[in-house]
């Protein structure tokens, strides 16, 4: 029993996501409400709080402190008794010199309800001010220049606070108390309009009005947001969307759509409670949603697909735009195909010439460009597909401190990761690295991400494939700087990232299915079973291999992959197949000869290419224009089947070395027979998904490992994932899949860095 009259003093040291998320103002209000004295400060050892007062009040403070609202997260809390001191108030002390390696950084946060209400309140001082923020919302990562997260270390340093803002900053009762991003129309950033030629025009409200006029007229407007610039256009206007696609050279890849509110979004998509909560959260990502059959928006937003990437306004500027427009807009990254996201005003005015028909920009610099996050909901839980605004930087706790290692990621869906003492920090999505500008931006972040934490990497970790851009550039850097370079096999990195995220104990089994990853035998892997123990991955199963005529050319032409799987069946590649797949007879003859001799072919076990092949065999014979296009179309086709579905026959056979060979060929023969018999292509696609899940389950049944991890890009397919999870749970297995990190190649850098740093080695 605590003595209500007894005085006590405690020190609480907080570690986790505790900077730039309103922790110090939260602590101040809580302590003041409880009548406690003391102080709170950012220090080299974390955020430290000392409180003094009645023992009952201090006990209540202890209990309520971990309840700070997200995205703040206190991961570790150390409590110490301290001697009483003479003081009369609770204060926020000046930040001490911060050890960057000990700092956890907040992501950019969507507009909070209080700021949104103020934005549309005519009596409020910030009525219709596009840069309204408080201690609970606004930019963080995208404006950070160095640590700690104080105004002088951010892009807001150039905006001196006016008298009214200074008063709010100093008022413990105000939600802007110690808010580093606060501003108002008198002292903060402002909007500026530029026409299609880049000529400057009106400022402030007039600039916003001009953007609205242009969008209502069907124009394409480049709008600078929190972490970069979007291209916006009316999502109802088919010709306008087609014009945007043509100018961006993006013929079919899905376009994200920003809706004014949840009610309008529900007219286009089915939205579950979990999806609605995610859309309206501080993360505010693009969420993949089931598209309604009666969706009034134009079909060109996601051609051939049954899901739409949707998001709600997440910044004051977006709220003002969408509230006034009253209709949904395409909100896609402002760049030309393959180039990185535009985020700098001057660069955008040049790079987007001929695409945008107007520019709505502002003078708050973006220090760290960041794309929108992309997520989906599976079994009621968020599953991240792209790390960006709202989730960057993502942090995973390591079992012990390790040396600083930079993981440079893969060729596609690239992202970086760095080990920082006992944490692994994952940076934002960098995209594909074929474009020279993308490579330059990637190289820049290779320097700035470790430097933010005061680190110089001792090792670089890359993919095993020598021709990947990050591998080549990391090799050159390692040679220049005398660093160790660790090449990590692609699928080992996938599994390591998933194991680290879930903190799973040994032993376990990884099912790693994706499109392309160079194997240790120098063939192209992509349908692997890996036994995992103590940081070691051992290949224990694989899909039956087949040939890809032309190698990389087959990635862009699923018809070639279809020929490879047909050849694996011993199917004669005659004129009938030329007609079905749309080949010229002479072309088919050449490709058939390549498959007979092996000349110009690549051997693969890729599950992703099996999906491509089936898509082509069921009639989708067009070249792909983006990664996963054919497989996503096949998934959509399978989901359209409303009848009963069962797997085709599959089998698994172990060779003399114990390697399990997962044989898909019987299932393919059955699918071809159904196709020949005129069975519905939707039914065949549904059977095919079930068959591959059954193949995984049959292979896993041969092993006695209780825990199974599903990872790799194929498991973005929630139809495959759902079937596989159900079958494995039916065997009594514990099944995990990535949620915080992407299941696709966006997690490779995390796995590379963890393995190269020796996370699983004994310290």
Asked if CATH classification 3.30.70.100 holds for the domain at 7-102, the reply, yes or no, is yes
Task: Name the 3-class secondary structure at 85.
Answer: coil
Question: Checking DSSP bridges between strand 536-543 and strand 524-533, what pairing results, if any?
Answer: antiparallel
Which of 249, 246, 223, 220 lies closest to 235, judged by CA?
A: 220
Q: How far apart are CA 314 and CA 311, in angstroms?
A: 8
Strands (E), 22-132: 37-43, 46-54, 73-82, 90-92
- Other C-beta atoms closer than 10 Å to the C-beta of 573 total 21
How far from the centroid of its chain's Cα atoms is residue 129's Cα? 30
Locate the domains of the chain by residue range: 7-102, 191-362, 548-602
pTM over 0.85: yes
Q: What are the structure tokens assigned to 201, written together? A: 């025009």
Q: What are the structure tokens assigned to 82, written together? A: 């301290």
Residue 147 DSSP symbol: S
Task: Name the 3-class secondary structure at 370.
Answer: coil
Q: What are the structure tokens assigned to 345, written together? A: 């005003």
DSSP codes, 181-220: T---TTTS--EEEEETT--EEEEHHHHHHHHHHHHHTT--
Q: What are the structure tokens assigned to 430, written together? A: 């960098």
Q: Are 541 and 660 in contact (CB under 8 A)?
A: yes
Q: Are 443 and 473 in contact (CB under 8 A)?
A: yes
* The predicted structure's pLDDT at residue 75: 83
pLDDT tens digits for range 37-94: 999 987 766 789 999 999 999 999 999 998 887 667 888 889 999 999 999 899 988 7
- Kindly report the three-state secondary structure assignment for every residue of 235-289: CCCHHHHHHHHHHHCCCCCCCCEECCCHHHHHHHEECCHHHHHHHCCCCCCEEEE
Q: What are the structure tokens assigned to 214, written together? A: 């242009």
* The predicted structure's pLDDT at residue 1: 43
Tell which phi-psi region holds residue 722, choosing left (phi > 0), alpha (psi between -120 and 50) or beta: alpha
Q: How far apart are CA 573 and CA 593, in angstroms?
A: 10
Q: How far apart are CA 315 and CA 303, in angstroms?
A: 29
Instruction: Give me the helix-helix angle, 558-569 and 607-617, nearest 10°.
Output: 100
Strands (E), 561-686: 601-604, 651-654, 660-663
CA–CA distance from 468 to each of 78, 472, 561, 594 (Å)?
45, 6, 22, 25
DSSP codes, 680-726: -HHHHHHHHHHHHHHHHHHHHHTS--SEEEEESGGGG-HHHHHHHHH
Which of 408, 410, 428, 433 lies closest to 418, judged by CA?
A: 408
Bridge partner list, 696:
none
The angle formed by the CA atoms of residues 547, 551 and 554, to the nearest 5 degrees, is 85
CA–CA distance from 175 to each of 160, 167, 714, 730 (Å)?
19, 12, 45, 51
Q: What are the structure tokens assigned to 576, written together? A: 């009938």
How far from the centroid of its chain's Cα atoms is residue 138's Cα? 19
**Cis? peptide before 514, omega within 30° of 0:** no
Domain 7-102 and domain 191-362 have a common topology: no
Q: Are 610 and 565 in contact (CB under 8 A)?
A: yes
pLDDT tens digits for range 322-342: 999 999 999 999 998 889 999
Low-confidence ranges of the chain (pLDDT < 70): 1-5, 20, 44-45, 70-71, 97-98, 763
DSSP codes, 447-496: HHHHHHTT---SEEEEES-TTSHHHHHHHHHHHHHT-EEEEE-HHHHHHH
DSSP codes, 318-355: HHHHHHHH-S-EEEEESS-TTSPPP-SHHHHHHHTTTT
Would you state the CATH architecture of domain 191-362? Alpha-Beta Complex (3.90)
**Cis? peptide before 9, omega within 30° of 0:** no
Bridge partner list, 76:
15
3-state helix, strand, coil split of the chain in percent (to 5) is 35, 25, 40
- What residues have CB less than 8 Å from 509, skipping those under 6 apart? 529, 530, 531, 532, 540, 700, 703, 705, 707, 708, 709
Task: Name the 3-class secondary structure at 159.
Answer: coil
How far from the centroid of its chain's Cα atoms is residue 268's Cα? 23
């Amino acid at each position: 029993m605590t003595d209500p009259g007894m005085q006590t003093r405690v020190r609480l040291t907080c570690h986790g996501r505790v900077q730039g998320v309103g922790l110090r103002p939260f602590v101040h209000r809580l302590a003041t409400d409880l009548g406690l004295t003391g102080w709170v400060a950012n220090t080299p050892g974390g955020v430290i709080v000392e409180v003094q007062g009645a023992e009952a009040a201090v006990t209540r403070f202890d209990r309520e402190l971990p309840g700070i609202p997200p995205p703040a997260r206190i991961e570790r809390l150390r409590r110490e008794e301290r001697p009483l001191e003479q003081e009369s108030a609770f204060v926020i002390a000046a930040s001490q010199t911060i050890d960057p390696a000990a700092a956890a950084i907040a992501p950019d946060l969507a507009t909070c309800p209080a700021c949104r209400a103020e934005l549309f309140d005519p009596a409020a001082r910030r009525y219709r001010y596009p840069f309204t923020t408080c201690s609970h919302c606004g930019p963080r990562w995208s404006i950070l220049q160095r640590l700690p997260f104080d105004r002088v270390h951010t892009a807001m340093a150039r905006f001196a606070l006016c008298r009214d803002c200074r008063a709010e900053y100093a008022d413990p009762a105000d939600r802007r108390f110690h808010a580093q991003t606060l501003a108002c129309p008198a002292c903060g950033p402002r909007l500026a309009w530029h026409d299609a030629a880049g000529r400057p025009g009106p400022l402030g409200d007039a600039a916003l009005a001009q953007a609205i006029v242009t969008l209502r007229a069907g124009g394409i407007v480049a709008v600078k947001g929190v972490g970069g610039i979007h291209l916006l256009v009316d999502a109802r206007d088919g010709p306008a969307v087609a014009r945007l696609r043509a100018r961006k050279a993006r013929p079919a890849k899905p376009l994200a759509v920003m809706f004014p509110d949840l009610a309008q979004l529900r007219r286009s998509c089915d939205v579950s409670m979990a999806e609605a909560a995610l859309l309206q959260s501080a993360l505010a990502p693009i969420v993949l949603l089931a598209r309604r059959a009666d969706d009034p928006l134009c079909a060109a937003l996601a051609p051939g697909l049954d899901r739409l990437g949707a998001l709600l306004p997440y910044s004051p500027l977006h709220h003002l735009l969408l509230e006034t427009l009253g209709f949904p807009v395409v909100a896609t990254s402002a760049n030309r195909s393959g180039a990185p996201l535009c985020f700098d005003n001057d660069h955008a005015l040049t790079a987007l010439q001929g695409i945008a028909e107007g520019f709505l920009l502002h003078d708050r610099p973006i220090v760290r460009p960041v794309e929108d996050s992309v997520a989906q909901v599976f079994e009621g839980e968020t599953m991240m597909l792209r790390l960006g605004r709202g989730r960057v930087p993502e942090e995973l706790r390591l079992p012990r401190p390790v040396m600083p290692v930079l993981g440079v990621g893969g060729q596609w869906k690239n992202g970086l990761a760095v080990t920082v003492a006992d944490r692994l920090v994952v940076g934002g999505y960098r995209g594909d690295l074929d474009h020279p500008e993308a490579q330059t931006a990637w190289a820049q972040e290779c320097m700035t991400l470790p430097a933010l934490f005061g680190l110089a990497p001792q090792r670089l970790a890359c993919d095993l494939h020598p021709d990947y851009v990050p591998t080549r550039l990391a090799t050159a850097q390692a040679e220049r700087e005398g660093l160790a370079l660790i090449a990590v096999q692609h699928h080992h990195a996938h599994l390591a990232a998933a194991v680290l995220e879930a903190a799973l104990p040994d032993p376990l089994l990884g099912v790693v299915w994706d499109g392309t990853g160079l194997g240790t035998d120098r063939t192209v892997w992509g349908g692997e079973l890996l036994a995992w123990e103590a940081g070691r991955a051992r290949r224990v199963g694989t899909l039956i291999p087949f040939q890809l005529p032309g190698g990389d050319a087959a990635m862009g032409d699923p018809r070639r992959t279809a020929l490879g799987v047909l050849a694996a069946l011993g199917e004669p590649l005659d004129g009938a197949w030329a007609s079905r797949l749309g080949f010229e007879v002479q072309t088919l003859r050449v490709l058939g000869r390549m498959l007979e001799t092996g000349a110009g072919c690549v051997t693969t076990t890729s599950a992703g290419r099996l999906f491509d092949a089936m898509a082509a065999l069921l009639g989708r014979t067009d070249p792909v224009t983006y990664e996963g296009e054919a497989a996503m179309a096949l998934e959509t086709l399978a989901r359209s089947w409303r009848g009963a579905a069962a797997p085709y026959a599959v089998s698994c056979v172990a060779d003399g070395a114990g390697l399990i060979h997962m044989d898909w060929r019987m299932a393919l023969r059955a699918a071809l027979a159904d196709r020949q018999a005129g069975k519905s292509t939707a039914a065949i696609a549904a059977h095919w998904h079930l068959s591959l899940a059954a193949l995984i389950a049959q292979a896993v049944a041969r092993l006695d490992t209780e825990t199974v991890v599903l990872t790799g890009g194929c498991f973005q397919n929630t139809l495959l994932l759902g079937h596989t999870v159900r079958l494995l749970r039916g065997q009594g297995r514990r099944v995990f899949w990535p949620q915080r990190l992407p299941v696709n190649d966006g997690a490779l850098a995390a796995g590379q860095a963890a393995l190269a740093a020796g996370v699983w080695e004994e310290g």
